[in-house]
Amino acid sequence: MKLSTIAISAILGSVAFAAPPKEQLRSTAMLIQQSEEFQRLNYDEGLLSLPDRDELRLVETAPGVRTWMTEAEKLILKRQGVRFFDVTGDDQIRAFEEIPTANVTFPDSPRYKDKVIPLLDEISTDNMHSNLAEFTDFFTRYYKSQTGRESAKWLYKQVNQLAHGYKGGNKKPTVEYFDHPWGQPSIIARLKGSKNPDTIVVVGAHQDSTNLIAPSLFAAPGADDDGSGTVTILESFRVLMESGFEPENTIEFHWYSAEEGGLLGSQEVYKQYFTNTKDVRAMLQQDMTGYAQGMTDAGVEEHIGVITDFVSPDLTVFVKSVIDTYCDISYVDTQCGYACSDHASATKYGYPSSFVIESGFQYTSKFIHTTKDTLDRLSFEHMRQHAKLTIGYTYELAFAKLEKH
């Protein structure tokens, strides 16, 4: 068995689209030969290849720019750092921002400090650490894998237990699967508003992980991407459930499947919401909340990265005011490009979205999408700041008028 031939053909594929130079192919093959996984695992040619490598997918890399490519080519694209929507099978493919984003009035500044600040003391980094340790113990959360389905079941159980522990009034939270054809479901927890049940405020993170060497073969602990965001909003959900708060607007917490496949899960969620005329007035995405070492190494002050491209400017201004009010660190403006996380799916269907990340983009983790995206590299105190933001955002918008104009 000749590794160089197998590794290059199986992992990168014999494709003409954006083919990497020979030097890059050789480097990739060498990395595989030297990896601990290769030394440890006993497998043949078939195990190295993507099971659906030749399946054609329709990929959008910029507004209205779409290309048919195989799953293998899609993997190459992702390895090159290109972000995209996978819009395959959408019988009503819409150009990004073809649907105008709703104009919503957000509060000028936070108004419920007396209610929110006591809740922030309830955030437990021990809880986040314990949950993330279990979540990253799944070999991979790749959305087409068996362990990706099992990790979703585990997550659903945690969310459901918290919902059952709700200490509020008569309206009880619901937790449901949003099923997808690839097997790993998204998860939606909902607490209906007492006054405006049709007005929806969303907090989101993605639950899947991937390894870009071989998604269906190699481990993908995904501690930062996006295990950190998953447990950050899970802990925020716990604090809110135990507080018994009774929102006037409907609050939803989303854990999306298949973000790494091209925002597949969140696209299906927001497409259904749009089709059913659901009225989402605000959406906040938490994707990668735990890696602070990049800022330390660069000698810059610890901060939160606030994404400013392909988001709602007005909602983003409000998010900044929440950081200023409830977090112990500040923020920097940063950009992540087209279709870089699930907030883009909300924007695609006309819903105001925002996105925060662990730092300015240049300081974010370089270990994502590898076996090295592990728990020990994260700062749970930094994740605490993202949880403070999540709780502040959710509580404030739970009682805001959020008028459309």
Query: In whole angstroms, how far apart are CA 375 and each of 135, 259, 383?
Result: 10, 20, 12
Query: Does the pLDDT of residue 82 top 90, yes or no?
Result: yes
CA distance 12 to 31: 13
Query: Does the pLDDT of residue 5 top 70, yes or no?
Result: no
Name every residue whose Cβ is closer than 8 Å to that of residue 137 and which is 6 or more positions away in sequence. Answer: none
CA distance 143 to 159: 19
Amino acid, single-letter form, for residue 200: I
Q: What is the mean pLDDT of residues 259-285?
A: 98
**What are 148-179's pLDDT values in tens digits?**
999 999 999 999 999 999 999 878 999 999 99
Residue 135's SS3 state is: helix
Confidence of residue 40 (pLDDT cuts 50, 70, 90): very low
Sign of the C-alpha dihedral computed for residues 53, 55, 56 and 60 taken in this order? negative
pLDDT of residue 95: 66
Closest alpha carbon to 106 in 199, 205, 210:
199
Confidence of residue 97 (pLDDT cuts 50, 70, 90): low
**What are 249-262's pLDDT values in tens digits?**
999 999 999 999 99
pLDDT of residue 26: 39
Mutual angle of helices 113-120 and 313-326, in 10-degree steps: 60
Closest alpha carbon to 156 in 142, 130, 135, 137:
135
Place of tokens 């459930």: 241
Q: What is the mean pLDDT of residues 220-227?
A: 98
Mean residue pLDDT of the chain comes to 89
Is 329:385 a contact under the CB 8 Å cutoff? yes
Confidence of residue 98 (pLDDT cuts 50, 70, 90): confident
pLDDT of residue 116: 99
Looking at domain 113-398, its CATH superfamily turns out to be Zn peptidases (3.40.630.10)
Residue 284 structure tokens: 């906040």
Query: Does the pLDDT of residue 90 top 90, yes or no?
Result: no
Residue 344 structure tokens: 């883009």
Query: Does the pLDDT of residue 312 top 90, yes or no?
Result: yes
pLDDT of residue 11: 37
Sign of the C-alpha dihedral computed for residues 303, 363, 314 and 233 taken in this order? negative
Share of the chain above pLDDT 90, in %: 79
CA distance 54 to 13: 9
Is beta strand 85-86 parallel, antiparallel or unpaired with respect to 56-62?
A: antiparallel
Residue 189's SS3 state is: strand
**Order of strands across the sheet with 196-206?**
174-178, 186-191, 249-256, 196-206, 279-286, 353-357, 303-307, 330-334
Domain residue spans of the chain: 3-86, 113-398
Most confident of 14-18, 78-82, 211-215, 306-310: 306-310
Confidence of residue 214 (pLDDT cuts 50, 70, 90): confident
**Residues in a beta bridge with 393:** none
